[in-house]
């Protein structure tokens, strides 16, 4: 189980520097170069939530309680942004901006500009602050993103589930490079968090459809996490939570910064206080350490180096209805992740990205007295060059290669395989006029192990009939190798495939956003196996005997996503609501027939609210999640996956206090998940004849996290 950097961190923490009782009024006016007032310009004080919008006369007024020097940033669609350094000390400040028109930027195409060839379509994006502020997520990147449409609550399974896809169908990217094992061990009845602290990242996002040809080996989604730039200043950080403690030191140099940090977590004291459904024999404990180095070799260039090591160990009993007894599962997971990447402009028209990543995971343990192990190694090298064309159009070409291996064993049996997957891709984004743009991509891959190639075209057509309205249609083919455990048994396999269609309408006006998406996804060539009994591959124990492999599996997923976000209707309040409808069935692995997978609820709804006090010394957040019951296999029901658990409900709450009397920057946070104690059930495990069953519960009815964070020298958290 990967115990996140749970932090302490929770809370809009990094929103503010140091607080002051004195309130400062910042006012001014924004004009064009022709002297015309410019309405609808967004004004924001950097690294805070304080900001405003210019009125019809181009004037603005911002009130803030922060103190110190910061940048006031002015930005508007179709204009180059501008900023000025201001000193906030309680006295009134007046400043005017003159924004220059960006003639190479289409009016109202800020969203397409995000979708350039070095990154995925940023459908739903969270900053580190927003992630930390979302109640019930305990500053976990994936938990926060699950509140957006298209993503399903993880329940008792590890991973990120999008549009009816399994966890393995979402590729996780760290600064553009894949993380093979981003969540730790996949253990029965436990949903593990992401390995990485949200405060490493400037922004995290996932796509629901139409992602770039620069990414492959994902049938459903790409979850992308982009790290911050050079730290602002040297600082020392400490954290104490009810699960452990941590420390980090950041050293700022002239054109670079270095951060070293470590954490230790032990759930034993917590589990002795909070009642647990999980039958722990050894509560989870984790040692973790990381290094992050950033260097600016030129004005626009950046070199990033990141290294992370973690060691997690736990054991617990599982009630086995087949033999009416308990099985002891012990697991230890050691993980190393390295990432080095370089980005720069070779000149004003050419941009380069180059990266190398390495991920090694050593997993071992035993089920009762039978030992098991699994070792993964993967190297990735990636190179991409982008050419900027007149009128904001771009064209890009790139290549990447993965060298990966898997060794695994159970009791006396062992198996392994090695593969080299090579890929090339090309993509172009073409702007025809102020309303029309087209994105075209093509990706090809070849696997040395299965000795097969694929060719995946992808396209998106974007139409903006009016300034604040956008319609996007997308189509794409996506391929993925079967799970490594199957490849370790045979090379007589091919690629699994999904074909996706989507139509998206978006209306964005100032600080409000509405989006609705309809999509259809068709699965072909999914892996099918024959086993003595249906396992669902959600259980545990020895590998089943597989008598046949084929690619006769298929399925579909179709649905509607709705999203509304509002930052301006209520003072000091931000909220959003998301709804997803999903109709899906598939027949794959050892499914005896078509059925809805347990990880794909039909209806999902989230409402998230975040509020700050006027003096910004307290910050509150609440979140409600609902989903229809999960399907499960009942051998007494002739309809496969024809049973459902009761509906899922969870209300979570978070409160953060930012005192002025401890350190340069400090915060206390209390986070409670499922505060009203809804009795949620994730499924049932049956004996083969259906005579006995065991309920699959969450680890605990409620989860509490109490944390204290302190930075002695700075006003942001880097670890």
pLDDT tier at 49, thresholds 50, 70, 90 = low
Among residues 82, 113, 144, the one where a domain terminates is: 113
pLDDT at 143: 87
Tokens matching residue 273:
């206080």
Q: In what order do the strands lie in the sheet with 177-178?
A: 124-127, 201-206, 221-227, 170-174, 177-178
| CATH number of the structural domain spanning residue 649 | 2.40.170.20
pLDDT at 87: 82
pLDDT at 5 over 70: no
Residue 466 has a CB neighbour count (10 Å cut-off) of 10
Confirm if 247 and 290 have CB atoms less than 8 A apart: no
Among residues 89, 113, 137, the one where a domain terminates is: 113
Specify if 391 maps to a domain: yes
What's the chain's average pLDDT? Answer: 86
pLDDT at 503: 95
Specify if 5 maps to a domain: no
Residues 41 and 139 in one domain: no
Residue range 101-108: mean pLDDT, rounded: 42
Residues 137 and 185 in one domain: yes
Residue range 366-385: mean pLDDT, rounded: 95
Residue range 415-425: mean pLDDT, rounded: 97
Pairing of strands 18-32, 97-99: parallel
pLDDT tier at 717, thresholds 50, 70, 90 = confident
d(CA 625, CA 610): 15
The residue ranking higher by pLDDT, 705 or 131, is 705
pLDDT at 494: 95
Residues 520 and 632 in one domain: yes
pLDDT at 544 over 60: yes
The predicted-structure confidence for 238-261, as pLDDT tens digits, reads as follows: 999 999 999 999 999 999 999 999
Percent of the chain with pLDDT over 90: 57
The residue ranking higher by pLDDT, 571 or 526, is 526
SS3 assignment, position 81: coil
Residues 25 and 167 in one domain: no
Confirm if 2 and 172 have CB atoms less than 8 A apart: no
pLDDT tier at 120, thresholds 50, 70, 90 = very low
pLDDT at 637: 94
pLDDT at 537: 54
Specify if 3 maps to a domain: no
Specify if 634 maps to a domain: yes
pLDDT tier at 205, thresholds 50, 70, 90 = confident
SS3 assignment, position 717: coil
pLDDT tier at 536, thresholds 50, 70, 90 = low
Total domains present in the chain: 2
Tokens matching residue 132:
């930390």
Q: How far is CA 281 from CA 153, 271, 469, in A?
A: 27, 11, 56
Residue range 52-68: mean pLDDT, rounded: 79
Residues 107 and 223 in one domain: no
Tokens matching residue 462:
């974007």
Comparing CA positions, the residue from 688, 477, 694, 683 lying closest to residue 597 is 683
The residue ranking higher by pLDDT, 480 or 435, is 480
pLDDT at 360: 97
The most confident of the ranges 15-24, 198-207, 334-343 is: 334-343
Comparing CA positions, the residue from 473, 374, 447, 412 lying closest to residue 121 is 473
Tokens matching residue 34:
């022709």
pLDDT at 392: 78
d(CA 133, CA 127): 10
The most confident of the ranges 104-108, 367-371, 540-544 is: 367-371
Confirm if 500 and 209 have CB atoms less than 8 A apart: yes
Residue 552 has a CB neighbour count (10 Å cut-off) of 11
Residues 119 and 105 in one domain: no
Residues 88 and 123 in one domain: no
Which residues have a Cβ under 8 Å from the Cβ of 618 and sit 6 or more positions away?
Answer: 612, 655, 656, 657, 658
Q: Which residues pair with 671 in a beta bridge?
A: 654, 705
pLDDT at 657: 86
Among residues 91, 113, 135, the one where a domain terminates is: 113
Residues 107 and 138 in one domain: no
pLDDT at 57 over 60: yes
Write out the residue range of the structural domain in which residue 68 sits: 13-113
pLDDT at 644 over 90: yes
Pairing of strands 42-45, 97-99: unpaired
DSSP output for 324-352: TEEEEEEEEEEEEEEEEEEEEESSSSEEE
The residue ranking higher by pLDDT, 139 or 28, is 28
pLDDT at 15 over 80: no
Residues 92 and 132 in one domain: no
Specify if 152 maps to a domain: yes
Residue range 452-469: mean pLDDT, rounded: 92
Residues 439 and 368 in one domain: yes
Residue range 529-557: mean pLDDT, rounded: 80
d(CA 136, CA 704): 9
d(CA 613, CA 656): 11
pLDDT at 78: 65
- Residue 35 per-residue DSSP state: S
The predicted-structure confidence for 485-500, as pLDDT tens digits, reads as follows: 899 999 999 999 999 9
Comparing CA positions, the residue from 502, 510, 512 lying closest to residue 475 is 502
Please state which of the ranges 6-10, 245-249, 270-274, 450-454 shows the lowest mean pLDDT.
6-10
Please state which of the ranges 55-69, 134-148, 626-640 shows the lowest mean pLDDT.
55-69
pLDDT at 105: 35
Specify if 407 maps to a domain: no
Specify if 516 maps to a domain: yes
Residues 556 and 631 in one domain: yes
The predicted-structure confidence for 148-167, as pLDDT tens digits, reads as follows: 999 999 878 889 999 999 99
pLDDT at 11: 31
Residues 148 and 33 in one domain: no
Specify if 408 maps to a domain: no
pLDDT tier at 111, thresholds 50, 70, 90 = very low
* pTM, two decimal places: 0.83
Percent of the chain with pLDDT over 70: 91
The predicted-structure confidence for 653-678, as pLDDT tens digits, reads as follows: 999 888 876 656 788 889 999 999 99
Comparing CA positions, the residue from 372, 361, 317 lying closest to residue 542 is 372
């Amino acid at each position: 189980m990967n115990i996140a950097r749970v932090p302490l961190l929770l809370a809009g923490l990094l929103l503010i520097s140091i607080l002051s009782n004195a309130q400062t009024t910042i006012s001014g006016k924004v004009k064009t170069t022709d002297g015309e007032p410019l309405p609808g310009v967004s004004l924001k004080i950097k690294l805070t939530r304080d900001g405003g919008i210019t009125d019809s006369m181009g004037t603005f007024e911002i009130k803030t309680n922060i103190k110190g020097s910061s940048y006031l940033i002015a930005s508007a669609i179709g204009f180059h942004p501008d900023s000025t350094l201001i000193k906030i000390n309680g006295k009134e400040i007046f400043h005017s901006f003159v924004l220059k028109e960006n003639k190479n930027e289409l009016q109202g195409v800020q969203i397409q500009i995000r979708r350039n060839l070095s990154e995925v379509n940023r459908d739903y994006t969270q900053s580190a602050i927003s992630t930390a502020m979302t109640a019930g997520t305990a500053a976990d990147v994936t938990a926060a993103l699950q509140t957006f449409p298209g993503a399903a609550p993880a329940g008792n399974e590890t991973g990120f589930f999008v549009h009816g896809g399994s966890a393995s169908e979402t590729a996780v990217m760290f600064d553009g490079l894949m993380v093979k094992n981003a969540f730790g061990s996949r253990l029965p009845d436990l949903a593990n968090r992401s390995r990485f602290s949200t405060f490493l990242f400037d922004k995290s996002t996932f796509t629901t459809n139409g992602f770039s040809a620069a990414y492959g080996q994902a049938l459903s989604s790409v979850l992308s996490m982009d790290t911050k730039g050079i730290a602002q200043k040297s600082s020392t950080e400490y954290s104490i939570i009810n699960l452990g403690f941590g420390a980090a030191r950041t050293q700022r140099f002239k054109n670079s910064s270095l951060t070293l940090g470590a954490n230790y977590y032990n759930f034993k004291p917590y589990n002795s206080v909070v009642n647990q459904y999980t039958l722990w024999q050894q509560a989870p404990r984790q040692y973790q350490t990381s290094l992050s180095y950033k260097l600016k070799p030129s004005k626009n260039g950046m070199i990033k180096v990141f290294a992370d090591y973690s060691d997690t160990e736990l054991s617990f009993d599982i009630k086995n209805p087949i033999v009416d007894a308990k099985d002891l599962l012990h697991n230890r997971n050691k993980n190393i992740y390295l990432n080095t990447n370089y980005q720069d402009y070779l000149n004003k028209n050419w941009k380069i990205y180059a990266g190398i990543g390495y991920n090694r995971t050593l997993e071992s343990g035993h089920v009762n007295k039978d030992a098991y192990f699994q070792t993964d190694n993967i190297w990735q090298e990636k190179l991409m060059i982008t050419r900027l064309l007149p009128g904001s159009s771009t064209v890009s070409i790139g290549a990447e290669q993965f060298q990966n291996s898997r060794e695994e064993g159970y009791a006396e049996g062992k198996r392994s395989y090695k593969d080299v997957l090579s890929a090339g891709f090309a993509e172009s984004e073409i702007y025809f006029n102020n309303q029309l743009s087209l994105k075209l991509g093509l990706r090809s891959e070849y696997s040395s192990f299965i000795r097969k190639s694929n060719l995946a075209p992808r396209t998106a057509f974007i139409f903006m009939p009016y300034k604040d309205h956008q319609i996007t249609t997308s189509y794409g083919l996506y391929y993925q190798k079967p799970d490594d455990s199957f490849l370790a048994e045979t090379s007589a396999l091919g690629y699994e495939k999904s074909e996706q269609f989507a139509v998206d309408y978006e209306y964005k006006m100032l600080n409000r956003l509405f989006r609705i998406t309809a999509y259809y996804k068709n699965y072909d060539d999914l892996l099918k196996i024959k086993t003595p009994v249906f396992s669902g591959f959600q259980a545990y124990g020895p590998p089943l005997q597989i008598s046949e492999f084929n690619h006769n599996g298929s399925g579909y997923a179709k649905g509607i996503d709705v999203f509304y976000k509002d930052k301006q209707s209520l003072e000091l309040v931000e909220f959003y609501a998301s709804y997803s409808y999903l109709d899906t069935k598939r027949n794959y692995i050892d499914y005896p027939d078509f059925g809805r997978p347990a990880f794909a609820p039909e209806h999902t709804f989230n409402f998230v609210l975040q509020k700050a006090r006027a003096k910004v010394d307290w910050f509150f957040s609440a979140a409600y999640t609902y989903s229809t019951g999960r399907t499960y296999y009942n051998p007494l029901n002739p309809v496969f996956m024809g049973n459902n658990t009761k509906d899922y409900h969870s209300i979570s709450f978070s409160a953060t206090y930012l005192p002025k009397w401890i350190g340069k920057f400090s915060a206390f946070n209390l986070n409670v998940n499922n505060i009203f104690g809804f009795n949620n059930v994730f499924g049932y495990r049956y004996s083969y004849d259906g005579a006995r069953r065991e309920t699959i519960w969450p680890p605990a009815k409620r989860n509490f996290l109490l944390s204290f964070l302190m930075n002695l020298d700075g006003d942001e958290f880097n670890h």
